[in-house]
Amino acid sequence: MKKTACAALLCAPTFLLAAERDDALKLPDVLISASRQVESRAATSAANTVFTRSDIDRLQPSSVTDLLTRVPGVQVAPSGGRGSLPGIFIRGTKAAQTLVLVDGVRIANATSGDSGLQFLDVDQIERVEVLRGSRSAVYGSDAIGGVIQIFTRRGNGQGLQPRLRLAAGSNQTWQRSLGLSGGNGATRFNLGASLDETAGIDSTGPSYASDADHDAYRNRALNLSLSHTFNERFEAGLNLLESRGRHEFDEPRGSSPQVPYSNFAVSSLGSYLDAQLADRWHSRLEVAHSENRDDSRDKLTHQSTPFNTYRDQVTWQNDLTLDDDNSVLLGADWYEDRVHAATDFNEDSRWNRAVFAQHRFQGEHFSTELGVRHDKNQQFGGQTTWSGSLTLPLDTRNDLLLSYSEGFRAPTFNDLYYPNFSNPDLKPEHSKSYEVQWRSQLTDSSRLETSLYRTDLRDAISYDAETNNMGNVARARINGFEMALDQQWGAWTSQLGLALIDPRDQKSGHTLARRARRTLSLDIDRQYERFNVGASWQAVSGSYNDEANNAPIGGYGLLGLRGGWAATGEVKLDLKLDNLLDKRYSRNLYTYQGHDYGYREEGRTWLLSVTWTPAL
Question: Closest Cα partner for 240 from 268, 220, 266?
Answer: 268
Q: Are 44 and 13 in contact (CB under 8 A)?
A: no
- In the chain, the N- to C-terminal Cα span, in Å, equals 22
pTM, entire model = 0.95
Answer yes or no: is pLDDT of 125 > 70: yes
Q: What is the pLDDT of residue 552?
A: 96
Rounded mean pLDDT of 397-426? 94
Q: Are 130 and 123 in contact (CB under 8 A)?
A: no
Q: What is the pLDDT of residue 419?
A: 86
Question: Closest Cα partner for 47 from 69, 83, 72?
Answer: 72
Question: Closest Cα partner for 111 from 342, 302, 315, 298?
Answer: 342
Domain ranges within the chain, ordered by starting residue: 2-157+299-612
Answer yes or no: is pLDDT of 456 > 80: yes
Question: Closest Cα partner for 90 from 75, 78, 79?
Answer: 75
At 4, the pLDDT band (50, 70, 90 cuts) reads very low
Q: What is the pLDDT of residue 588?
A: 93
Of all residues in the chain, what percent are helix, strand and coil, respectively (each to 5)? 10, 60, 35
- d(CA 70, CA 470) in angstroms, rounded, equals 34
pLDDT in tens, 319-342: 999 999 999 999 999 999 999 998
At 8, the pLDDT band (50, 70, 90 cuts) reads very low
Lowest mean pLDDT among 163-167, 180-184, 192-196: 180-184
Is domain 2-157+299-612 in CATH 2.40.170.20, yes or no? yes
Reduced 3-state DSSP string for 252-315: CCCCCCCCEEEEEEEEEEEEEEEEEEECCEEEEEEEEEEEEEEEEEECCCCCEEEEEEEEEEEE
